Amino acid sequence: MGFLIVIIIIALLVLVPRYYPKFAMNKKMMVTWGAVIIAVLLLASTVRIVQPGSVGVQVLFGRVYKKVLSNGLHFVFPFVEIKTMNVRTQDYTMSVAQEEGVRKGDDGITSLTKDGLQINLDITVWYQLKSDKAAEVYQNIGQDYVEKIVRPAIRTAIRNATVLYNVTEIYSLKREELTNVIFEELDNNFSAKGIICDKVLLRNIDLPQKVKNAIDEKIAAEQDAQKMVYVLEKEQREKERKLIEAEGIAVSQKKISESLNKQYLQWYYIQNLKEVLNSNNTKVVIMPFDQNLTPLLNVGQ
C-alpha cells in the first residue's frame, strides 16, 4: 500500500504541472514536498507492531524469513509483510456436549479398547506454538496448523492408547496411566511440528450400558467381600480379647486361691456377719455352726 501511494504521489507531481499549470507550484518546492511525503510514507511503512501473545513472521515477496518478531514495536524493510501467529496457551476440546467443543455438536472421540468394546471420550488438550518455530510452522504448515496438525494428532493418540487397555482398566484403575500415554504421544508428535503439548485432560469416559452394569455389579461384589473380611477380622480380634480376658481371670483366681487359708476365711466370715447384724433391715440371722467355726456374736430378734 505504501509503495502504491508513493507511485501516485510521483505521478501527481509529474502530471499536474503539465495539464493543470495554474495548480503548479514552484518546481523546487514540489520536489521538496514530494521528497518529504515520500520519506514520511517510507518511514511509516517500516514500522510494525506485534501485539502481546503473538509473534510476527516476516514475508518478503513470498520469501519467509527465519527471524521471528516478538511482541512490541519493530522497524522492518518497507515491503515486508508481517503474518501474526498466536503463541499463547490454547485449548482444543472435543466433546459430545453441543456447546463445549471447538466444533459445535457431537465431537466426542469414539475408540475401541483392548477387549474390543467401543467407548466415547471427551478430551481437552492444552497446547502452545513455539515462538522460535513460528516461521517454520507458517512456511511448512500454515496458519491453520490447528486443523492440520493438532486435531488429527489428538484423535490418533487417543485411539492408539485405548487399544492398550481393557475397558474396566480405563474406567477405574488405569485412567491416569491412559492419560499419560496419550500425553507422551502428543508431546512427541507436536514437538516435531514446532508445537508444545502442555497438558491432556481426559474429561469424561462414556461406556456401553451393559458394561456399566457389569462394572457396578463387580464393584458391589468387591465391597461385600471387603465388608466380610472386616467382619471376620473383627470377630478374630474379639476372640483374642476374650481369650486374653479368660487367661487373666484364671491367673487371678489361681493367685487368690493360693492366698486363702482357714484362718482368713473364718475372719472374713465373721466380718460379713457383723455387717448383716448391724443392718436395720435384719430381723433373723441364722448362722452355720460346725466344729471349725464357733459363733462369737449374740444373735437376737
**CATH number of domain containing 165:** 3.30.479.30
Place of cell 519467509: 64
Region 169-175: what's the mean pLDDT?
Answer: 81
Shared domain check, 265 and 195: no
Print the domain residue range for 223. 216-259
Shared domain check, 123 and 226: no
Shared domain check, 190 and 102: yes
Shared domain check, 230 and 275: no
Shared domain check, 196 and 96: yes
The answer as to whether 66 is a domain residue is: no
The answer as to whether 79 is a domain residue is: no
Instruction: Give the whole-number percent of the chain exceeding pLDDT 90.
Output: 20
The answer as to whether 174 is a domain residue is: yes
**Mean of the per-residue pLDDT values of the chain:** 78
CB 110 within 8 A of CB 118: yes
Tens-digit pLDDT profile for residues 278-291: 777 655 556 565 55
Split into its structural domains, the chain has a count of 4
The answer as to whether 278 is a domain residue is: yes
Measure the CA–CA gap between 13 and 19, rounded to whole angstroms.
11
Shared domain check, 154 and 184: yes
Backbone angles phi, psi at 202, to 5 degrees: -85, 100
Tens-digit pLDDT profile for residues 65-124: 888 888 888 778 777 888 888 999 999 998 877 677 677 767 788 888 888 888 888 889
Tens-digit pLDDT profile for residues 266-282: 777 777 777 776 777 65
Shared domain check, 220 and 253: yes
Asked if residue 185 has pLDDT above 90, the reply is: yes
Can you give the pLDDT at residue 210?
Answer: 72
Statement: the pTM of the whole predicted model exceeds 0.85: no
Shared domain check, 222 and 116: no
Domain boundary among 187, 207, 227: 207
The answer as to whether 196 is a domain residue is: yes
The answer as to whether 52 is a domain residue is: no
Region 224-232: what's the mean pLDDT?
Answer: 82
Measure the CA–CA gap between 239 and 58, rounded to whole angstroms.
84
Shared domain check, 117 and 10: no
The answer as to whether 70 is a domain residue is: no
Shared domain check, 94 and 7: no
CB 57 within 8 A of CB 82: yes
Q: Is the sign of the CA dihedral 20, 26, 30, 31 positive or negative?
A: positive
Instruction: Give the whole-number percent of the chain exceeding pLDDT 70.
Output: 70
The answer as to whether 51 is a domain residue is: no
Shared domain check, 239 and 290: no
Asked if residue 178 has pLDDT above 80, the reply is: yes
The helix, strand and coil proportions of the chain, stated in percent and rounded to the nearest 5, come to 55, 20, 25
Shared domain check, 202 and 134: yes
- Residue 296's pLDDT band, with cuts at 50, 70 and 90, is very low
